[in-house]
Structure 1
Amino acid sequence: MTQVTEHGGGVWSIEVPIPDNPLGHTLVHLLDTDSGPVLIDTGWDDPASWDTLVAGLGSLGVSVADIHGVVITHHHPDHHGLSGQVRDASGAWIAMHAADSAVVRRTRDAEPALWLDYLADKLTRAGAPDEHTAPLREARTSGRIRTLPGLRAALPDREIVPGELLGLAGRRLRAIWTPGHTPGHVCLHLEEAHPAGRPGHGRLFSGDHLLPGITPHIGLYEDPDDATAGDPLGDYLDSLERIGRLAPAEVLPAHQYAFPDAASRVRELLAHHEDRLTGLLALLAVPLTPWQVAERMEWNRPWEQIPYGSRNIAVSEAEAHLRRLVKLGRAEVLTGSVPTTYVAV
């Protein structure tokens, strides 16, 4: 049965499954407005996910055709995947932050082989062995990239402007820019009293930025045309602190379950990343590539048991932490090193 939860005050969540993913599902939130129901995220583009979303809405007496608008916290396919199908069925608008809209547009416009070339080259620079990059180069030749998610994601109609209220009749929903997980990730602050009278400042739809028991992936923002060495982990930590100061009465995340006391969870995540940075600094007593660092980091399973695709994510996360150490002046990139090599200073 489709799991639907009422959160009070005209807010519900629907568990929309993510196929073959340990996360299990995305919590798609439905928000009543005076102009009609609005979805916050939509779930993965898969027939079973679509059927679950439709069934969940139906259990609330809502048809997909009734949807007035779709607000996307970030562009990842487990959040934005079904947006186009919802719009086709209802005429709803889709809103997204400009930075993530740019990712969607860039991905749609690029030649599919570009992404495999980019990923293979990026992993090579990070120190990945030839046997790891070989499947990417083989996939480029075979054209299998056309089966990857997100290549034809829907282009949004509206821009979410940080700090501004979204134009939702009868509701006060304010966008808060929280880059880190993606460059255009937003949390959405419902500036209304908690329906159960809990103390705090409204409720927060947190997307993937703040989850009760999971540390969101912080990797490198993917832009083949931008050679700038950004600091996504620094962006994420700054964003966390802003959310901690907001002190909402309840957090409604896109995975797991709703929870109170955002400030405590923020402190846990800040401490986690500080511990990880300290551990990496100890590893960098000798020069290491991002791949070598990832092999030595602590994950939820031994490196040998991490699947192929997850290793790519792990290396990206390792490099995001290494860039943070460089930004803090605690590590440096060895000049002229190929692959890229970091060392503590």
Structure 2
Amino acid sequence: MTTRAERGRWDEEGAETIGPGVHRIPLPLPGDGLRAVNVYLLEEDDGVVMIDGGWALPRSRHVLETAMASLGHDLAEITQIFVTHIHRDHYTQAVALRRLLGSRVHLGAGERRGLELLLGEVRSNVPVTSLRVLRRGGAGDLADRLLKIQSYTGFDETDWEAPDNWIGAGVADLGRRALRVIPTPGHTRGHVVYLDEAAGLLFAGDHVLPHITPSIGFELADPGLPLADYLDSLRLVTGYPDARLLPAHGPVTGSVHARVAELLLHHDNRFAHTLRTLGTRTLDAYAVARQLTWTRRDIPFAGLDDFNQMLAINETAAHLDVLVARGRVTAVLDGGVTRYTRVDDAAP
């Protein structure tokens, strides 16, 4: 009998048992290309521990409640929620469940500044940091279009609250099992993964995904050099024993180390393609991104919608900025736009 994952239906509603006392539940996302977000339930002596919360939607809560009932559990048994990062599809339902149940919510300490900005001066669903990267990358018109669209989406401040506990590197003792908390900045500054070393399971959030590479530095706080952080974080997890990959999006797969090797190779190839695209010219990130292809299907830039064009330009800028840090490319800010030139000896 084939599993849902083997049929390519990892997002099918319901609970999938991964191992003793560990269950995966995909929760729906609203019109999102990611299809669903996985949350994981860990059975403990004093209740159920949840990894990631999902998006605070009535449909999502209903799917969660129904799946838990199929396992013989009730929402009220959720005692703690360990969140991998602050993005809405991971964090907001954790806040809602805490309000309903009194569960304790844990979030990486590196997310504090982003949450402070969201609840302070920003108070908007607009990805302002990404729009700044677009403008710096020469795509001001695209930034204007996205700002106009995003400004109409309502911001509900009740979706966002501080966690009960800001967590850093260490070990969380749950009772039956222990989770090693490993900070993995890159996707966001405060992203963490949770490693169950005894069971050989890595709850990877968006850090290591089985079929795609995550967006980099998609947050409000200044990400610095998010791609450099991300690559370092990928190498970091290979310093721990290999484990099964339990991702936030996609099916459970067999080896974290194998997938990390693929992701590192992907970015090495992307650096090479970026250098070849620059050639002997001086270009901004928008111009480079338009000449690259995107996703595993090699879609031309023009075939992406506005939101995914934003992600593509942001990723291109991230690669170019790392190449600058490595001395392979130079950068000059000209009229608010960064223009890149390959160093003569930077062979692709």
TM-score range, shorter chain: 0.7 to 0.9
Distance 2:323 2:216 in 1: 14
Distance 2:257 2:128 in 1: 41
**Match for 2:161 among 151, 154, 164?**
154
Q: Does 1:104 align with 2:115?
A: yes
- Asked if the contact 1:108/1:151 (under 8 Å) is kept, the reply is no
**Residues 171, 113 of structure 1: CA spacing in aligned structure 2 closer, same or farther, 3 A cutoff?**
closer
- Find the counterpart in structure 2 of residue 50 from structure 1: 61
- Find the counterpart in structure 2 of residue 290 from structure 1: 285
Distance 1:337 1:35 in 2: 59
- Find the counterpart in structure 2 of residue 277 from structure 1: 271
84-93 or 167-176: bigger deviation: 167-176
Distance 1:172 1:146 in 2: 39
1:72-91, aligned counterparts within 5 Å?
Answer: 72-91=83-102
- Asked if the contact 1:75/1:101 (under 8 Å) is kept, the reply is no
**Residues 337, 53 of structure 1: CA spacing in aligned structure 2 closer, same or farther, 3 A cutoff?**
same
Q: Does 1:174 align with 2:180?
A: yes
- Asked if the contact 2:187/2:214 (under 8 Å) is kept, the reply is yes
**Residues 290, 166 of structure 1: CA spacing in aligned structure 2 closer, same or farther, 3 A cutoff?**
same
- Asked if the contact 2:130/2:218 (under 8 Å) is kept, the reply is no
- Find the counterpart in structure 2 of residue 198 from structure 1: none
Q: Normalization by structure 2: what TM-score?
A: 0.87
Distance 1:50 1:310 in 2: 28
Query: Per-residue deviation at 1:115?
Result: 4.8
Count of residues in correspondence between the two structures? 328
Q: Normalization by structure 1: what TM-score?
A: 0.88
- Find the counterpart in structure 1 of residue 338 from structure 2: 340
**Residues 124, 26 of structure 1: CA spacing in aligned structure 2 closer, same or farther, 3 A cutoff?**
same
Distance 2:292 2:217 in 1: 15
Distance 1:230 1:294 in 2: 20
CA deviation string 1:85-113 (max 9, x = no partner): 11112100100111113312321222446
**Residues 116, 295 of structure 1: CA spacing in aligned structure 2 closer, same or farther, 3 A cutoff?**
same
Query: Per-residue deviation at 1:150?
Result: 8.1
Query: Per-residue deviation at 1:307?
Result: 0.9
Distance 2:277 2:27 in 1: 40
**Match for 2:191 among 185, 195, 198?**
185
- Find the counterpart in structure 2 of residue 239 from structure 1: 233
**Residues 338, 43 of structure 1: CA spacing in aligned structure 2 closer, same or farther, 3 A cutoff?**
same
- Find the counterpart in structure 2 of residue 93 from structure 1: 104
Q: Which runs of 4+ in 1 moved over 6 A?
A: none
- Asked if the contact 2:292/2:300 (under 8 Å) is kept, the reply is no
* AA aligned opposite 2:252: A
Query: Per-residue deviation at 1:278?
Result: 0.8
- Asked if the contact 1:43/1:82 (under 8 Å) is kept, the reply is yes
CA deviation string 1:2-39 (max 9, x = no partner): 32111122110111011211221111100112221111
Identical-residue share of aligned pairs (%): 34
* AA aligned opposite 2:259: R
* AA aligned opposite 1:157: D
CA deviation string 1:149-179 (max 9, x = no partner): 88842321102221x1114223211101111
- Asked if the contact 2:130/2:314 (under 8 Å) is kept, the reply is no
SS state at 2:175 partner = coil
1:307-326, aligned counterparts within 5 Å?
Answer: 307-326=305-324
* AA aligned opposite 2:182: I
Query: Per-residue deviation at 1:135?
Result: 3.0
Q: Which runs of 5+ in 1 are unaligned?
A: 195-201
- Find the counterpart in structure 2 of residue 14 from structure 1: 25
* AA aligned opposite 1:5: E
SS state at 1:144 partner = coil
* AA aligned opposite 1:171: R
CA deviation string 1:228-285 (max 9, x = no partner): x821111111111121232333121111111122222111111110010011011222
- Asked if the contact 2:92/2:160 (under 8 Å) is kept, the reply is yes
Distance 1:188 1:111 in 2: 30
Please tell me the root mean square deviation across aligned C-alpha atoms, in Å: 2.3
Structure in which a larger fraction of residues adopt strand = 2
Distance 1:113 1:253 in 2: 28
SS state at 1:146 partner = coil
- Find the counterpart in structure 1 of residue 9 from structure 2: none
**Residues 95, 325 of structure 1: CA spacing in aligned structure 2 closer, same or farther, 3 A cutoff?**
same
Query: Per-residue deviation at 1:122?
Result: 4.0
Distance 1:4 1:174 in 2: 24
- Asked if the contact 1:28/1:41 (under 8 Å) is kept, the reply is yes
**Residues 251, 319 of structure 1: CA spacing in aligned structure 2 closer, same or farther, 3 A cutoff?**
same
**Match for 1:267 among 241, 248, 261?**
261
- Asked if the contact 2:114/2:219 (under 8 Å) is kept, the reply is no
